Amino acid sequence: MGCAYGFQYGHEESLIQDFEDSLNFSSILSKDFDIYFYKHCKNFKLTEKQFVAVMEELNIDITESISRPSNNKLLFEKFIQDELYDKRAMASLGIMLGKGSLEEKVKILFLNYDIEISDSLDPKEIKVMITDILEIALVHIPKTAKTCINNINESKSLKKYCFKLNKYKAELAEYYKKLLIKDYNVEIKVDDFVAMFENENIRALLYPSRLRAMAFAIGGRKKVQIEVRD
């Protein structure tokens, strides 16, 4: 299926989705991202050696040269903090762009943020999830896509799009906190979490392109239509 856009940055969004397609994550099961990240690292941060081992398990090419930079490596470098990779956020990237049914992805996402291993998500864990997901969809992916564009004019227009997305990020985060956290004294069980994703706007959390549309709808007060590519 192609894409239909109903707003100013339709071409820029198309370029970003082209970048997402170039990663070939859609050929990898979402659950495999989760499995291998946690297989090679029991902590929240991965060393470079552990990161490379996970990439080999997933058969993701991160080799690069001056003439051929790796889109995958450029994106994953966005997850480096103090020379270590953010395992939980990278697993979320794989859940979002990987292959799997909606219910399967939601359950994996739940487990990824059940930090206390309590079989439930508390408000703090939900906030971490929202922060990670919005950073991936609105910042990491668009900025990396911009880096990979050689056309100067397209790079400039993507820079403007990235600026808008980042501008709307905080308001979209507050929107999702209100949508997902009804009572700060109540923890969410997995079945309730799955049921939440029957809501179309909550379901957008699993689709970066839809989240970017949501950013304009909530932060920019503009009606936006974006079809997700099959």
Per-residue pLDDT at 8: 74
Distance CA 174, CA 44 (A): 25
Per-residue pLDDT at 65: 60
Say what the pTM is. 0.91
Q: Which is higher by pLDDT, 9 or 31?
A: 31
The pLDDT confidence band at residue 222, using thresholds 50, 70 and 90, is low
pLDDT tens profile 51-102: 999 999 999 999 876 566 789 999 999 999 999 999 999 999 999 999 999 9
Model confidence at 24: pLDDT above 80: yes
Model confidence at 40: pLDDT above 60: yes
The pLDDT confidence band at residue 182, using thresholds 50, 70 and 90, is confident
The pLDDT confidence band at residue 229, using thresholds 50, 70 and 90, is low
Instruction: State which H helix or E strand residue 45 sits in.
Output: strand 45-46
Model confidence at 226: pLDDT above 60: no
What is the total residue count of the chain?
Answer: 230
Model confidence at 139: pLDDT above 90: yes
Distance CA 65, CA 178 (A): 45
Distance CA 134, CA 149 (A): 22
Model confidence at 228: pLDDT above 70: no
